[in-house]
Structure formats: structure tokens, C-alpha cells
Structure 1
Amino acid sequence: MLQRTLALMIFTLLAGCGQSEPQKAEPEANNAPQYSEAEVQKLIDVCKNRGGNAPMKELNACIKLNKYSHFHTLDLSRIKIGKLPEDIFDGMSHIRQLFLNENSISALPESIKELVDLKVITLDWNKFESVPEELFEIDGLRDIYISHNSVTKVDQGLKNSKKLRRIILSFNKLEEFPTVFSEMPNLKILDLASNSISRVPKQIGGMSSLIGLSLADNKVEEVPEEIGALSNLTMLDLSANKLKTLPVTIARLPNLTQHVEEHSGFVNNLTALGFEEDGEEIYGVSLLKGYQTTLPVSRYSGINLLFNEVAVLDKEFCDVFFMKLDSKVSVNCKKMF
């Protein structure tokens, strides 16, 4: 609890609030610090973390305000804290979006498990070496963003995150394709771009719900035929690898061959895709509209095969609605891409 005297002076209350923390087992509404309208607006601006240079005592007040309010978003990004206090998330079960990017942290405190309503967590640009195990116990978690870290493995415990639909693991240090993803029935978006993966396992065929998959900028030399079992796959990015051929099973995937009305091309950044259920009914009123995904999945599709060693594709690839190919690639059909 924040009622304990923290050794870190960065978490003292905003002096203008004029009250010390009440000694209660749990915070109660009638004990909430009293803020003027102007102070509340100031703290809301701090919670948005515009510019990322807010004074630490005000960030603490932002945390306090979240405890005593119905805000659903907490942004503690870019405060360069290094380590989070163990009790920092006590009393914040209502938080649905949490931003902790750019903080040089390598672990999460146990109190993260109290965020029982958490749907989205952003951990980009930190020092994690694996996906934090504490997240496996948050049943409703849907999106994990953990790019630009030092992740070398993904623990099998991640399969307990039954509702996880998106995981962004680009720009890490993975050398193997984590097979645990094949045991996650609701996973729709998987971004493994810019790692060091050389082999794609046959278990990929078990990822039947997958809509978007990026393996761009890896060391992949071969894709197994089992990828043809991904009947919902709509976007496949295999650019900048060492591929010399592609299994024809990819060309038979129904969502890659169907005509798309108002087609908007290929999305290179899978983090930009939104889902119909995104919005107030899940996340509540967001204070960080800039982080909201806005591109509808239904308008994007295709295969990106740029910067590989493929010379010839089977004629069945003529049926793929949209492909990005190097000019040297020969496809035995009249269709132009």
C-alpha cells in the first residue's frame, strides 16, 4: 500500500493537497485527497504525461488520483524510474490501460496482479529479457506491447492468458519461434519482426485465429506447409528474410485471395490495427487518444515478400489479392502486382 512510507522520495504527495495518507487497510472514497477543479485538471494533464517530464511528486499525485477516481488509463511512461515500488498498483483494480514504456525497467511488481481489469499494457523500450510472468495471472489481458527490449524467450505460462489477442514482440532477441503461441486460441495479431528467428516450426499450423503475422527482418530460410492451416490469416509479412521459395498452401488461404472493398494496402505496422470491440465499452474513457488503434482490420490484406531470395512463385499465387514483390520475382500469370 502507498500508506507505507516509501524510501523513494519521488512518491511523496503533491504538497498543495495538504493531507497525509490516512492509515487504513484500504483507501476509502471519503478519505480521498481534496483537489480544487484547477488542481484536478492539472493532474489530468500529468496523467496524460505530455512531454514525459512531469515532476515526480506530481506523478505520485496522478497515482493517488487514479486510486480515488474512475480513470481507466494510467500513463507512467518515460519517467526513467528504473524500478517500480512493489505496492505502486495497490487499489487500482479499475485500470484498463497501463503505459510503462521507456522506463529502463526489467521487472514488474507483484501489485500488477491487482489490476484485474487490465486489458492493454505497453512495455516498449525497456530491459525485459522475457515476457513478465506476473501478466499470466491477469485473466482479461488482451494486448501486450513489449517491443524494443531484450526478450530471448517466452515462457509456456503465457498460454494461461486465454483472452490475449495481440502480442507485439518486435525488435527483441528471440532466436526461436515460441511454440506457446500455437496454444493460444484467441491470438489474432503476432509481431515478431526484427528478431533473429531462423526457423518457423510446424506448430504454426495450430494458430488458427491468427489474422496478422509479421516475421519481417529475421533469418527465416523456410516456411512450413502447415502455415496453410491459418484460415483467418489476412496479413503476412515475410520481408527481409532468406527465403528462396514459399509453400503453395499460402496462396490458398481464403482471406488472402478474396477481393477487399476499399482496400487500403498492406499494414507494415501491426500495432496500428484496431478491432471492432476497441472503445469505451472495453477501455472506458481514454485519456490517451493518441495511443488508440484506428485502422480497421477489414480494409487491409496481403503478403509482403520484399527483400528475399525468391526467384519464382507458383502460378497459384496469381489468385492472391495483393502482394509486395521484388521486381526480379517471376510469377507465371498475367496479373500485375
Structure 2
Amino acid sequence: MVGVVTCSSVSSIKALWETRIKRREEEQEEEYKRKTARSATGRLSIWAWEDRAVLARLRKKVQTEDGRLVLRIEHEEWKSFPGCLVQFCQVHEWQIHRTGLLKIPQFISSFQSLLVLDLSRNSIAEIPRQIGKLTQLRELLLSYNRIQLVPEELSGCENLERLDLAMNRDLKDLPDQLRNLRKLQHLDLSMNAFSSLLDCVVSLPALEWLDMGGNCLQNLPEDIHRMEKLHTLWLQRNQLERLPENISRMKNLDTLVLSSNMLRDIPSLMEDMSNLRFVNFRDNPLTLDVSLPPRKTLTEDNEDEEDREMFGREFMQTYIKEARKRAYAVLNMHCINQLKEDTSDQ
């Protein structure tokens, strides 16, 4: 009997002990859940507070200018933008400069009222594909960034009139789909790494102003005259050795800058470009050494001083005339020598 009672007592004590341990474990688990919940609530409160603080800070940056809502941030550090920025999706312009911004947020597509997106002088390396959903966008200004690739979705910005990608250094190509930007008038691709004038650029039907200075262009396309509406073309600081004859067929071209290239000649047909008001051939290894004739009078007005500038329009015309004169002289000399040879043979 004693042994049975002892065994029964031990079993009871063991069962009681296990129950207490289990209950303690359950209590500890409940306490952990309560602490976790309080911690999460605290974090949510902190996040909510931070969002409110950011919103208050951003709200001060939204101004009304000429009837437009403008988000303007300059010389402040904003490497990225929080999602709460979408609460300002009615703004018409972003003017965000020198903030160290690293990327354009993907939620940019929420800003359907956006007309101007100016993110110049930041550290942006990529344009998100969502940019193509901004069908009302008129100006996209991304100069002085680190962009290496332009997505084909940008062609979806069907109302884009101005695109500035200057000074991104390593940018050397554009998607062919950009030829669909049928309203694009102003394109700045200067200070990049383009080695050719791309066909998608030549095919832009409304293009009026193009800057490709400071690239690596070695030649221009023979069908450059397809750019029928182009009136300003900047090609300074490239590696151009010759100009296509068809450049003379660009009837609307009035400004042509070709300084600091490798040109050795000027196409004679350029003499007929009557609308060309300003041209610059400075710092090219041209074959002929040409000087402008002196002015007829000392009292002549200075209105045409731009044309008078050395290597300008007057220089171009004088150069072409001199080149033609020398070509005739060489041809005449050849004819005389040929005649002498024929006479000697007789």
C-alpha cells in the first residue's frame, strides 16, 4: 500500500508541475504578444508621426506660381521621396535641384497633372518605365545627372515638347521608339557620349532646336535634310571631318555652330543657305587660310557684327568663293598643261 501511495503521489506532483510549467509558458507567450503589439503600435505611431512631419515639410514646398501648383526644392538633401508625396498628386510642376536625389520614384505615374518635371543637377541614374504614363507632360529636364539608359516607355509622353538630357556623360544611345514624340521641339543631348546623330532624332517631325555639342560625333547622316523644321543646330566640340552636301537643303536652319571640330572644308552648296543668319567654323583645321576683306566705310553700323565675326557667315561665303576660285585655277592649269602636251605630241 505504501508503495502504491508513493507512486500515486509522485504522479500527482509531476502532473501538477507540468501543468504549472505549461501555464507559465502560456503566460510568457501572452506577455510576449502584448509587448510585440505595443512595440508595433509604437512603431506605427513613429511612422505616422514621421509621415506627418514629412508632409508638413513638403507642404511648405508647394507654391502657386502663375496659376500652377509647383513643388520647389533646392539645396536640401532628399535622396529619395516617401510614398506620402502622392498626396500632392495635383501639382503641375516639380522643380527639384541639387538635392542629391538618387532616383525618380515609381509612383511618379500618379502625378497625372504634371506638366513640367525638372530634376536637373541631382544624382539620378535611371528613368523609371512608369514615366511613360505621364501623357500630359510637356517638359522633362534631367541635365547634370548620371543617366545611362532611356526607357522606350518615354515615347508614351505624347505631349512632350522639351527633353533635356545634357551632361549625363555616359549616355550614348536612345530607343528608336522616341521617334514617336511627334510634338518634341527642343532636344538637348550635349555633353554626352553619342557617336552619331541617331535616326530616331532625325525622324522627329516637329524638332526645331537640337544641341549635340560636346559628344563624339564623327559624321552626320546624309539625309540630315529630313529635319525640315530645325532652325538651330549646335554641333560644337565633336570630331566631325566633313559635312554632308544635303545640309544645304535645310531651308529653315538659321543657326549652325560647328566650332572645335575636325572640318577641312565647307560644302560649296552652303553658299545658297539664305536663311542661315549665324554660323561658326572657329577652331577647325580648314584647308584654306582665308581673311575677310576690310569694311567699305568706317561709319558702317554694327547691326551685323555677328555676321562679320571671323569664322561666321561672311567668312563662310568668302571661304567658298576662294575655294571655287582656286579650284578653277587648278582646272585651268591642268587644261593648259594638257594642251601643251597635246601640242608637243603633234
After TM superposition, the score normalised by the length of structure 2 is 0.64
Tell me: CA distance 1:81–1:200, structure 2 relative to 1, closer, same or farther (3 Å): same
- In structure 2, what is the equivalent of residue 52 of structure 1? 75
2:103 to 80, 83, 96: 83
Unaligned runs of 5+ in 2: 1-46, 65-69, 292-303, 323-346
Equivalent-residue separation in structure 2 for 1:122 and 1:205 (angstroms)? 27
Structure (1 or 2) with the larger CA radius of gyration: 2
- In structure 2, what is the equivalent of residue 276 of structure 1? none
* 1:125 maps onto 2:125 in alignment: no
Structure 1 residue 66, shift from structure 2 partner: 3.3
Tell me: CA distance 1:230–1:131, structure 2 relative to 1, closer, same or farther (3 Å): farther
Name the % identity.
25
5 Å-filtered alignment, 1:178-327, equals: 178-256=198-276, 301-312=277-288, 322=307, 324-326=309-311
Structure 1 residue 48, shift from structure 2 partner: 2.0
Equivalent-residue separation in structure 2 for 1:156 and 1:320 (angstroms)? 41
After TM superposition, the score normalised by the length of structure 1 is 0.65
- Which of the pair is proportionally richer in helix? 2
Residues 29-82 of structure 1: per-residue CA shift (max 9 Å, x gap): xxxxxx9xxx85554399222x4215679x659944631x4x321123332232
Structure 1 residue 14, shift from structure 2 partner: 3.8
Equivalent-residue separation in structure 2 for 1:66 and 1:252 (angstroms)? 54
1:104 to 105, 123, 126: 123
Residues 265-311 of structure 1: per-residue CA shift (max 9 Å, x gap): xxxxxxxxxxxxxxxxxxxxxxxxxxxxxxxxxxxx40011111125
Tell me: CA distance 1:117–1:313, structure 2 relative to 1, closer, same or farther (3 Å): farther
User: 2:152 touches 2:176 (CA, 8 Å); kept in 1?
Assistant: no
Structure 1 residue 161, shift from structure 2 partner: 0.8
3-state SS in 1 of match to 2:140? strand
Higher normalized contact order (CA 8 Å, seq sep 6+, divided by chain length): 1
Equivalent-residue separation in structure 1 for 2:83 and 2:275 (angstroms)? 49
* 1:138 maps onto 2:161 in alignment: no
User: 2:232 touches 2:253 (CA, 8 Å); kept in 1?
Assistant: yes
Unaligned runs of 5+ in 1: 1-8, 19-34, 257-300
Equivalent-residue separation in structure 1 for 2:238 and 2:200 (angstroms)? 19
Instruction: Please provide the CA RMSD for this pair.
Output: 3.4
> What amino acid is the match of 1:122?
L
User: 1:47 touches 1:74 (CA, 8 Å); kept in 2?
Assistant: yes
User: 1:179 touches 1:204 (CA, 8 Å); kept in 2?
Assistant: no
> What amino acid is the match of 2:307?
F
Structure 1 residue 255, shift from structure 2 partner: 1.3
> What amino acid is the match of 1:83?
K
Equivalent-residue separation in structure 2 for 1:310 and 1:43 (angstroms)? 54
User: 1:124 touches 1:145 (CA, 8 Å); kept in 2?
Assistant: yes
